[in-house]
Amino acid sequence: MKQILILCIVVFGLVSFSDDDKPDYPIPPKTKELLFYIQRNLNSNTIVYEASFDKEGNLIEDEPIDVHWIRYDEDGQKMELRRIERWYAYGVRCRKIKNEEDYQVKLVANKNRDFKLIQKNPFEAIVSTLIDNKLSQMEHMYIFADNSGAWPKVKYIELFGIDIATGKNTYEKIITE
The CB density around residue 16, as the number of other CB atoms within 10 Å, is 15
Q: Using CA atoms, how far apart are residues 34 and 28, in angstroms rounded to an integer?
A: 8
CB-neighbour burial class of residue 92 (10 A; exposed 0-12, middle 13-18, buried 19+): buried
The pLDDT tens digits for 76-129 are: 899 999 998 899 889 999 999 998 889 999 998 888 899 999 999 999 999 999
> Which residues pair with residue 137 across a beta bridge?
128, 162
Q: Note the pLDDT of residue 91.
A: 94
Residue 63 pLDDT > 60: yes
Tell me the domain boundaries of the chain: 2-12+32-175
Q: The pTM is what? A: 0.85
Q: Is 89 left (phi over 0), alpha (psi -120 to 50) or beta?
A: alpha
